[in-house]
């Protein structure tokens, strides 16, 4: 028993798989029902019309028309539909899923794609080959599903460690991630919107370009973490018990912290160049030696904040809630 993949004449999407019957007429009748047309002719990818069912081979890709002539499509192309990949290399078609193609020597198919100049196929196959290499080495980025599974499998009394783990681009929004060890973890571009990261160790973690809008960061340890260009709008750093969030040496260059509650936070020698700290609560915060060049602090509360030795060049202090005393800025 043989099977074929049929496409409507002139298209390479929404194909249907058919079992080869006893005659071309029976195959045309089945195609008429599936495609809701009056199928009259079947063609090979090269435009040859099939009149005898014996000429059909197993796994052939064919085109069906309702009487019109074959529509010549550009050869050597790749069409993707969901997880399916259809390759035409030198007139020979490969129709399979991405995962199946990976298991069938993607590098060999990649070489063929390059040889025949299928530029669209090259980029996709290169991506697939890289993903497979990462999976083999165990360096592939974890997903939300992986993190949830780890959380559910870990007892409350045990420490959950994601130290040095790759979580690039993962969606961890609105999750309860309290007290997890993310030291040295790669969280670049992660979505942590509304997540609870209280008590987490994010020391030297990469959170650049991450979205932490509305996140809870009470008592976090962010020593020398990288939050360049991160979105921390309306975050909460203040602990009712009086413990400070430790963010010494953190890189917040260009970050958005507007409206955040940062009372008593430790930002000693932190980099906040071009950062947005409008309308922030920075009461009793330690900003000693911090780089606040071109930082927008308009509307913020800096009552009893320590700004000794801070770089305040071009910083904006408009509409301050409390007066800024010289003793706060001079050693």
- CATH code, 56: 3.10.20.230
Question: How many CB atoms within 10 Å of residue 322?
Answer: 12
Contacts of 186 (CB under 8 A, 6+ apart): 165, 166, 167, 168, 205, 206
Q: What is the pLDDT of residue 330?
A: 52
Q: What is the pLDDT of residue 68?
A: 86
Share of the chain above pLDDT 70, in %: 77
Question: Mean pLDDT over residues 92-119, rounded?
Answer: 52
Domain identity same for 83 and 130:
yes
Q: What is the pLDDT of residue 97?
A: 47
Place 45 in a pLDDT band, splitting at 50, 70 and 90: confident
Indicate the average pLDDT of the chain: 83
Domain boundary pick from 111, 137, 163:
137
Whether the predicted pLDDT of 46 surpasses 50: yes
Domain identity same for 101 and 52:
no
- Say if 123 falls within a structural domain: yes
- Say if 104 falls within a structural domain: yes
Share of the chain above pLDDT 90, in %: 50
Domain boundary pick from 65, 98, 116:
65
Longest dimension (CA), the chain: 96
In angstroms, the Cα distances linking 62 to 18, 42, 73, 83, 116 are 11, 7, 12, 21, 21
> What's the whole-model pTM score?
0.60
Give 210-229 pLDDT, tens digit per residue: 999 999 999 999 999 999 99
Domain identity same for 59 and 82:
no
Domain identity same for 85 and 116:
yes
Task: Quote the number of domains for the chain.
Answer: 2
- Say if 18 falls within a structural domain: yes
> Range of 84's domain?
78-137
Give 136-186 pLDDT, tens digit per residue: 665 678 889 989 999 998 888 888 999 999 999 999 999 999 999 999 999
- Say if 112 falls within a structural domain: yes
In angstroms, the Cα distances linking 226 to 55, 80, 170 are 63, 37, 17
Whether the predicted pLDDT of 93 surpasses 90: no
- Say if 17 falls within a structural domain: yes
In angstroms, the Cα distances linking 54 to 49, 73, 90, 283, 311 are 13, 25, 23, 84, 83
């Amino acid at each position: 028993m043989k099977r074929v993949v049929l496409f409507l004449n002139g298209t390479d999407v929404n194909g249907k798989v058919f079992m080869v019957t006893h005659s071309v007429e029976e195959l045309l009748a089945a195609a008429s029902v599936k495609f809701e047309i009056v199928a009259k002719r079947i063609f090979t990818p090269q435009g040859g019309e099939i009149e005898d069912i014996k000429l059909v081979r197993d796994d052939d890709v064919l085109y069906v028309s309702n009487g019109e002539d074959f529509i010549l499509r550009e050869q050597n192309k790749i069409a993707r539909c969901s997880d399916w990949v259809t390759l035409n290399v030198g007139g020979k078609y490969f129709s399979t899923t991405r995962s199946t193609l990976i298991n069938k020597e993607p590098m060999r198919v990649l070489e063929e794609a390059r040889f025949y100049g299928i530029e669209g196929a090259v980029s996709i196959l290169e991506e697939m080959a890289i993903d497979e290499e990462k999976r083999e080495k165990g360096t592939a980025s974890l997903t939300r599903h992986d993190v949830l599974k780890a959380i559910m499998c870990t007892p409350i009394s045990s420490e959950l460690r994601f130290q040095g783990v790759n979580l690039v681009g993962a969606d961890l929004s609105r999750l309860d991630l309290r007290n997890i060890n993310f030291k040295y973890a790669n969280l670049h571009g992660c979505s942590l919107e509304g997540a609870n990261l209280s008590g987490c160790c994010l020391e030297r973690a990469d959170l650049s370009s991450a979205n932490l809008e509305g996140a809870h960061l009470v008592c976090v340890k962010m020593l020398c973490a990288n939050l360049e260009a991160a979105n921390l709008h309306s975050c909460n750093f203040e602990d009712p018990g009086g413990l400070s969030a430790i963010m010494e040496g953190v890189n917040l260059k260009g970050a958005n912290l507007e409206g955040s509650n940062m009372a008593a936070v430790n930002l000693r020698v932190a980099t906040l160049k071009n950062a947005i700290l409008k309308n922030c609560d920075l009461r009793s915060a330690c900003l000693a030696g911090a780089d606040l060049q071109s930082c927008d602090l308009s509307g913020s509360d800096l009552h009893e904040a320590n700004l000794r030795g801070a770089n305040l060049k071009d910083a904006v202090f408009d509409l301050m809630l409390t007066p800024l005393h010289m003793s706060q800025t001079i050693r």
